[in-house]
A and B are shown apart, each in its own frame.
Chain A
Amino acid sequence: MNAIAAPADASASALDTVPKLLLHNARLYGSRPAFREKAFGIWQTWTWGQTKDEIEAFAVGLKLLGLEAGDTVAIIGDNRPHLYWAFCAAQSLGAIPVPVYQDSVAEEMAYVLKHAEVKYAIVEDQEQADKVLSVAGDVGTIRKIIYNDPRGLQRYDPNDLVSIESVQEAGRKALKADPGVRKAWLDGIAAGKGSDVSVVLYTSGTTGRPKGVMLTQENVVVSGRNANLFDHFTPDDTMIAYLPMAWVGDHIFSYGQAYAGALCVSCPESPDTISEDRREIGPTYFFAPPRVFENMLTQIMVRMEDAGWLKKAIFNYFLKVARRVGEPMLDGRPVPLADRLRYRLGDLLVYAPLRNRMGFSNLRVAYTAGEAIGPELFSFFRSLGMNLKQLYGQTEASVFITLQPNGEVYPETVGKPGPDVEIRIAENGEVLFKSPGVFLRYYKNDEATAETKTPDGWVHTGDAGFIDQRGHLRIIDRAKDVGRLTDGTLFAPKYIENRLKFYPEIKEAVAIGHGRDFVTVLLNIDLTSVGNWAERNNVIYASYQELAAHPEVYAIIERRIDELNKSLAAEEMVAGSQIHRFLILHKELDADDGELTRTLKVRRSFIAERYAPLIAALYDGSPRCQIKTEVTFEDGRKGVIEGDVKIVDMKTYPAVKAALREAAE
């Protein structure tokens, strides 16, 4: 049993709810920017003082509309200051905001609105208002829709819809007319407790209906505060809010952290202008899933392809320098003076302009999470001097479970437990955690709550992982996909496959091993990358099949797998999963043939059936195997591909003993 506890550093505080933090920030940082939004081409700013006034008017107006403590309020739309204020306005009255994904269709929305028994819906514009209106009858509990952008809504029935502006106006009038109104509002905030439910976040749920995760005020506030401590955020830091408000990440970053640390949140002009707006704002704190970084890299590379030869030469030279010394310099490790100077020059000529282009000139910390990020992609951004790190989290944890500390960033891990977080690995490899962010329960779903949360407060993540010798958590697979070899060794197919796919020559991989004596893999080569190599080395080929069977291609892949086996041997948990035998498939796995899902995920069981002869050959020791496969062409016709597939035996390495490593450290 591995148990690791991070040093506790949660300062007990009277500021245990977001509305209390609002008043606190308005007092301390009244004239500092809290929110920015680009409207009509110009950035508009609201200070914390103004934000407090806006939220106060909004809250009082909502109360006049009939909103009461305990009511649920749906919030639907792109990231807009008014919608962020809606969260705090509702919470200041003891009501519970329920953000809904703005791109969900009306039927999906109906489920959440109905399940949460929403009384009021605060929406961005006509599009969202129409969706809510179309399902309001079905939901049954909605009393009023409150909108931000009036365009197209003038002719709608005012009994159904009112504008945020008019709600605030009514609030302002009431505040002016009777000083007791303000006092009542402030008293309401003072009476709020950290244990109050602050928000219900619906998880998108790949299987079954979405579940409503209830977070308390303390969950959000303490998670935000701890994250700010971890990366030393101050009110000088600023971020751009562009990820869905219904996603826990945005709620903690742009709401929890922003209020806990009085950071400034900027809202883009429209979802299509984010990269331009990011350049103008220059955030110091940024989060994006790996694919966003991937797109940025592709864009840079495509543009460089069109550049003149001199620019290209400079770019390529300094990129090489960055690859060698960029990361060590970022981590503060020693680097020879000559390289330091080279890097400085590169910074002047290449890295700084690139960072500027992407809007990262002022960046201090960037995080990525959600899926495995390719080590090359990760290193590319880090070598340019960007402090890009990974974290691991989930809605049930108020995001943070582990984070990579500065100077301890390894692409294959997701970091160390965050402040006040404890993690533990169960017998079956599943990661469990305990933290101040642990959710209260699932809304109206005690069965699921009991399955996920143990009575003593540990939460099952559903992910399998292990803690490496540096104390970093590594996630290897979904816990339910993890199998065992016959000798009982853990076998995480996705982990092996992802490691393989990080090699540019390998496009797809299917690892087999559950209930077997050892691990084998079926591979697809990457036609672009290997084809490129073939062109440069005068290897002639006519088809994928021919290239895939080429002895030299086999040799390349063999070297790669040997490399991987060596590195697997050094990881205690997966050392037993070294690849014993592999083959390169005679055809590319294809969604048209049912081998991949439409989102290009491998369909393991289907492949096991379809390629049963190959898999049998992988385990019976034969050096080749004949296979005949039916394929579907793009026009729907069927054909047969026949092939003679070579199977290669790999060398495996003894697992490096943990004890030795400890001694070495």
Chain B
Amino acid sequence: MKADIQERSGAAAAAHALSDRVIGDVLLSVENVSLAFGGVKAISDVSFDIRKGEIRAIIGPNGAGKTSMLNVINGFYHPNEGTITFKGTRRRDMRPYIAASQGISRTFQNLALFKGMTTLDNIMAGRALKMRRGLLWQALHWGPALAEEIRHREAVEKIIDFLEIQHIRKAPVGKLPYGLQKRVELGRALAMEPELLLLDEPMAGMNLEEKKDMSRYILTVNDQLGTTVALIEHDMGVVMDISDRVVVLEYGRKIADGTPEEVQRNQRVIDAYLGISH
């Protein structure tokens, strides 16, 4: 069974590489961003861009400032210096909910699901920003509100089908194994139909099979929905396999930026990251 999965995701990756995906203009650019917590400099003067339609990986050793970077991008942290341009609009202070409504959604390193709620409700929650009817209408659960819910449920069911989590549709997520929770969280992020999807270690703590599955989902989202993906990941095999370009951070500084091949050949990267771990 494992062999098939390997084969399957291998074929998917090959198809991905061959595909005529259009990598377009810059969707988001980070310019000279610095972030400090008191005296601790988490990010210093980092610049890079994310182009429309690509899979962009952010890698680096522990404490390199990767998660901080994602937090800056979706407005959870405000940079001390520098600017971020998303879809042509320069901004410095951003609120997460505004980022969300503009098309940035994310998953978290340590999962941030509503544990007591079902898979279905968690993913439905991802549609909240798209619901037009107010609280009162929704409480009535009638007429236009009902029609709206049915429409959104349809979208959620497509995600459930896509991620193959039908069997846990009605299960409270707190009781699910970790790998499945990660999948539900991806589902919730997808429910927002984002333009830019930020994934913070989507494969942490997964076994080989689950990683292959997750790689396949990410590739398909990118391929078929045209969603731009920025991800942090520690599994170098996965990063080199699925990303178009990689930016490498170390101690809050950018030390390399380029295609997986370029980054792998970069001596500073080898010293800083790959070198130490071997």
Contact with A along B219-257 (1 / 0, CB 8 A): 010011000000000000000000000000000000000
Q: CB within 8 A of A130: which of B8, B18, B161, B169?
A: B8
| A41 CA / B118 CA spacing, docked (Å) | 15
Question: B166 touching A273 by the CB < 8 A rule?
Answer: yes
Question: B160 touching A41 by the CB < 8 A rule?
Answer: yes
In the assembled complex, how far is the CB of residue A398 from the closest CB belonging to chain B, in whole angstroms? 30
Given A103-B1, A131-B7, CB of A41 within 8 Å of CB of B220: no
Question: B169 touching A152 by the CB < 8 A rule?
Answer: no
Given A155-B15, A155-B19, A155-B223, CB of A105 within 8 Å of CB of B166: no
Residue count of chain A within 8 Å CB distance of chain B: 23
| A105 CA / B158 CA spacing, docked (Å) | 29
Dominant SS among interface residues on chain B: helix
* Neighbouring B residues of A270 by C-beta, 8 Å: 164, 166-167
Q: Which A-chain residue is minimally distant from B161 (CB atoms)? A: A40
Q: CB within 8 A of A131: which of B4, B12, B158?
A: B4
Question: B161 touching A155 by the CB < 8 A rule?
Answer: no
| A272 CA / B12 CA spacing, docked (Å) | 24
| A131 CA / B10 CA spacing, docked (Å) | 12
| A151 CA / B170 CA spacing, docked (Å) | 24
Q: Which of B197-227 contact A (CB under 8 A)?
A: 216, 220, 223-224
B3 adjacent to chain A (CB < 8 Å): yes
B154 adjacent to chain A (CB < 8 Å): yes
| A273 CA / B16 CA spacing, docked (Å) | 31
Question: B8 touching A155 by the CB < 8 A rule?
Answer: no
* Neighbouring A residues of B178 by C-beta, 8 Å: none
| A590 CA / B92 CA spacing, docked (Å) | 68
Question: A41 touching B4 by the CB < 8 A rule?
Answer: no
Question: A152 touching B216 by the CB < 8 A rule?
Answer: yes
* Neighbouring B residues of A126 by C-beta, 8 Å: 8, 11-12
* Neighbouring A residues of B4 by C-beta, 8 Å: 105-106, 127, 130-131
Q: Which B-chain residue is minimally distant from A125 (CB atoms)? A: B8
Question: A151 touching B162 by the CB < 8 A rule?
Answer: yes
Q: CB within 8 A of A41: which of B16, B166, B223?
A: B166
Q: Which of B153-182 contact A (CB under 8 A)?
A: 153-154, 157-158, 160-162, 164, 166-167, 169-170
| A269 CA / B223 CA spacing, docked (Å) | 25
* Neighbouring B residues of A152 by C-beta, 8 Å: 12, 15, 216, 220
* Neighbouring A residues of B216 by C-beta, 8 Å: 152
Q: Which A-chain residue is minimally distant from B16 (CB atoms)? A: A155
Question: A272 touching B167 by the CB < 8 A rule?
Answer: yes
A630 adjacent to chain B (CB < 8 Å): no
Contact with B along A424-460 (1 / 0, CB 8 A): 0000000000000000000000000000000000000
| A154 CA / B12 CA spacing, docked (Å) | 10
Contact with B along A116-141 (1 / 0, CB 8 A): 00000000001100110110000000
In the assembled complex, how far is the CB of residue A147 from the closest CB belonging to chain B, in whole angstroms? 13
Question: B157 touching A40 by the CB < 8 A rule?
Answer: yes
Given A152-B12, A270-B164, CB of A105 within 8 Å of CB of B220: no
Question: A156 touching B15 by the CB < 8 A rule?
Answer: yes
Contact with B along A24-48 (1 / 0, CB 8 A): 0000000000000001111000000
Given A39-B161, A154-B224, CB of A105 within 8 Å of CB of B3: yes
Question: A40 touching B158 by the CB < 8 A rule?
Answer: yes
In the assembled complex, how far is the CB of residue B173 from the closest CB belonging to chain A, in whole angstroms? 16
| A41 CA / B152 CA spacing, docked (Å) | 13
Contact with A along B11-53 (1 / 0, CB 8 A): 1100110110000000000000000000000000000000000
A276 adjacent to chain B (CB < 8 Å): yes
Q: Which B-chain residue is minimally distant from A269 (CB atoms)? A: B166
| A103 CA / B223 CA spacing, docked (Å) | 27
| A456 CA / B154 CA spacing, docked (Å) | 60
| Size band of the interface chain B makes with A | 20 to 34
Q: CB within 8 A of B154: which of A40, A130, A156?
A: A40
| A270 CA / B166 CA spacing, docked (Å) | 7
* Neighbouring B residues of A151 by C-beta, 8 Å: 162, 220
| A104 CA / B228 CA spacing, docked (Å) | 36
| A126 CA / B212 CA spacing, docked (Å) | 14
| A270 CA / B18 CA spacing, docked (Å) | 31
* Neighbouring B residues of A103 by C-beta, 8 Å: 1
* Neighbouring A residues of B224 by C-beta, 8 Å: 154
* Neighbouring A residues of B15 by C-beta, 8 Å: 152, 155-156
| A103 CA / B8 CA spacing, docked (Å) | 14
| A131 CA / B4 CA spacing, docked (Å) | 7
In the assembled complex, how far is the CB of residue B43 from the closest CB belonging to chain A, in whole angstroms? 37
Q: CB within 8 A of B8: which of A42, A127, A156?
A: A127
* Neighbouring A residues of B160 by C-beta, 8 Å: 40-41
* Neighbouring B residues of A155 by C-beta, 8 Å: 15-16, 18-19, 223
Question: B220 touching A276 by the CB < 8 A rule?
Answer: no
| A39 CA / B224 CA spacing, docked (Å) | 20
* Neighbouring A residues of B157 by C-beta, 8 Å: 40-42
Q: Which B-chain residue is minimally distant from A126 (CB atoms)? A: B8
* Neighbouring B residues of A134 by C-beta, 8 Å: 7
* Neighbouring B residues of A42 by C-beta, 8 Å: 157
A41, A103, A105, A127 — most chain B CB neighbours (10 Å): A41
* Neighbouring B residues of A133 by C-beta, 8 Å: 11
* Neighbouring A residues of B161 by C-beta, 8 Å: 39-40
A39, A40, A106, A155 — most chain B CB neighbours (10 Å): A155
| A133 CA / B160 CA spacing, docked (Å) | 28
Q: CB within 8 A of A273: which of B7, B154, B167, B220?
A: B167
* Neighbouring B residues of A105 by C-beta, 8 Å: 1, 3-4
| A270 CA / B216 CA spacing, docked (Å) | 19
| A449 CA / B79 CA spacing, docked (Å) | 79
Q: Which B-chain residue is minimally distant from A133 (CB atoms)? A: B11
In the assembled complex, how far is the CB of residue A582 from the closest CB belonging to chain B, in whole angstroms? 42
Q: Which A-chain residue is minimally distant from B216 (CB atoms)? A: A152
In the assembled complex, how far is the CB of residue A366 from the closest CB belonging to chain B, in whole angstroms? 23
Question: B164 touching A106 by the CB < 8 A rule?
Answer: no
Given A40-B154, A40-B157, CB of A276 within 8 Å of CB of B8: no
In the assembled complex, how far is the CB of residue A187 from the closest CB belonging to chain B, in whole angstroms? 40
* Neighbouring A residues of B8 by C-beta, 8 Å: 126-127, 130
* Neighbouring A residues of B16 by C-beta, 8 Å: 155
| A426 CA / B116 CA spacing, docked (Å) | 63
| A183 CA / B181 CA spacing, docked (Å) | 54
* Neighbouring B residues of A154 by C-beta, 8 Å: 223-224
In the assembled complex, how far is the CB of residue B99 from the closest CB belonging to chain A, in whole angstroms? 29
Q: Which B-chain residue is minimally distant from A107 (CB atoms)? A: B3
Question: A106 touching B166 by the CB < 8 A rule?
Answer: no
In the assembled complex, how far is the CB of residue B111 from the closest CB belonging to chain A, in whole angstroms? 22
Q: Which of A238-292 contact B (CB under 8 A)?
A: 269-270, 272-273, 276
Q: Which of A314-357 contact B (CB under 8 A)?
A: none
* Neighbouring A residues of B3 by C-beta, 8 Å: 105-106
Q: Which B-chain residue is minimally distant from A40 (CB atoms)? A: B157
In the assembled complex, how far is the CB of residue B188 from the closest CB belonging to chain A, in whole angstroms? 17
| A273 CA / B162 CA spacing, docked (Å) | 15
In the assembled complex, how far is the CB of residue B266 from the closest CB belonging to chain A, in whole angstroms? 31
Question: B167 touching A276 by the CB < 8 A rule?
Answer: yes
List of 8 A-B pairs having minimum Cβ-Cβ separation, nearest first: A272-B167, A155-B15, A40-B157, A273-B167, A41-B157, A269-B166, A270-B166, A155-B19
- Sample of 14 more A-B contacts, CB < 8 Å, known A126-B8, A134-B7: A40-B154, A41-B153, A105-B1, A105-B3, A106-B7, A126-B12, A127-B4, A130-B8, A130-B11, A131-B4, A152-B15, A270-B167, A273-B166, A276-B170
A to B CB contacts below 8 Å, 17 in the list: A40-B158, A40-B161, A105-B1, A106-B3, A126-B8, A126-B11, A127-B8, A131-B4, A152-B12, A152-B15, A152-B220, A155-B16, A155-B18, A156-B15, A273-B167, A276-B167, A276-B170
Residues on A lying within 8 angstroms of B by beta carbon are: 39-42, 103, 105-106, 126-127, 130-131, 133-134, 151-152, 154-156, 269-270, 272-273, 276
